[in-house]
Every structure is written in C-alpha cells, then in structure tokens.
Structure 1
Amino acid sequence: MQRTFSVKALWDAEAKVFVSESDIEGLHIEAETIEAFEAVMHDAAIDLIVANHVSEEDLASRPLRDLIPAILWERPDATKLAVA
C-alpha cells in the first residue's frame, strides 16, 4: 500500500477556481477559495484513501500504524496568485 499521497491546488484562471492535482484516486476538487478547497480536501481525502487504496488484505495483515497515510499538501503561493 502506498502510504504517502500528495495534493496540490492549481488555479484555473478561465474557470476562476482552484482544482486539485493528486494521486489520491477519486479526489477531484474545484473550489472558489483556497479555504473551501482545504475544507473539502480535509473532509474527503482520508475516506478516499481508505476506500480506494486500502484492500481488505491490507486491513487483515498489516499493523494499523502501517495503514495510516501521510498527505503532502502543497498550498499555492499567495504572491503568485495575486499576479494571476
């Protein structure tokens, strides 16, 4: 099982929303603010990891500490957003 996942928020200037770039299967976020993006990410990411990246075999054969994922969250640079 992969234990480290990444999430980035990218600004879509045409749609005027932040969109997610992630290796968490099923995580697709579009939000008008970075705060709304983070709220959705925090609410959905762990559930999607458990649903899509942890098998029943993993649950039966691995210690719980080996199943706890790390999520590397890269918040956009606010100075670059002001220019865009």
Structure 2
Amino acid sequence: MLKRTFRVKAVWDDEAKVFYSESDIEGLHIEAATLDEFEEIMMDEAIDMIISNHMSAADIASRSFKDIVPAIIWQRPDVREVA
C-alpha cells in the first residue's frame, strides 16, 4: 500500500537561530529563520520530495489521483517555546 500521510515538524536550533525540519519525507531538509519562511519552503518542496522519493512511476500510473495525493501533517511549534 502506498503511504499517503507524512509528517513535518519545525524544531528551533537556539545556537544557529533557525528552525530546522524533522520529517519522514525523504530529501526534505529545511532551515529557516522564521516559521513563516519555514512553512513557505515546506509548502513549495514537500510534495515534490514525496513524489520524487516515495512514489514510483508505476504507483503514479496505476492509481487514481485521489489515491496518490499525500496528506502532510504540519506541526507548527508554539512560538513561546522559542522565546
């Protein structure tokens, strides 16, 4: 069965002063100074990484569109944790 749910979490690195990603999406590596920037990069890159690294051409060709569209669970941290 094709995996359809993926997780992305933003974690604050106090030393580097950036948010970085923890995710089960192969190839997705994000570092961003703000959560808004992190979220924008994630929305631009996550689907491409899922299609490139988690789906074969056969998966895409043999399933309906609704069966291959992944769900991404985005865990936005509480900004109070960063302060």
* TM-score bracket for the superposition, by shorter chain length: over 0.9
- C-alpha separation between the residues in 2 aligned to 1:14 and 1:64? 42
Alignment: residue pair count: 82
TM-fit CA distance, 1:43: 0.5
Q: Look up the equivalent residue of 2:34 and give its one-letter code.
A: T
- C-alpha separation between the residues in 2 aligned to 1:14 and 1:81? 12
Other-structure match for 2:64: 63
Is 1:6–2:7 an aligned residue pair?
yes
Other-structure match for 2:16: 15
Other-structure match for 1:54: 55
- C-alpha separation between the residues in 1 aligned to 2:42 and 2:23? 10
Instruction: Give runs of aligned pairs for residues 16-35 of structure 1, distance below 5 A.
Output: 16-35=17-36
Q: Return the TM-score normalized by structure 2.
A: 0.94
1:22-72 deviation digits (Å, cap 9, x = unpaired):
001100000111111011001100111111111111112111111000000
Query: In structure 1, the residue corresponding to 2:82 is in which secondary structure?
Result: helix
- C-alpha separation between the residues in 2 aligned to 1:26 and 1:2? 16
- C-alpha separation between the residues in 1 aligned to 2:50 and 2:67? 13
- C-alpha separation between the residues in 2 aligned to 1:71 and 1:57? 22
List runs of 5+ in structure 1 lacking aligned partners: none
Moved over 3 A (4+): none
State the Cα RMSD in Å.
0.8
List runs of 5+ in structure 2 lacking aligned partners: none
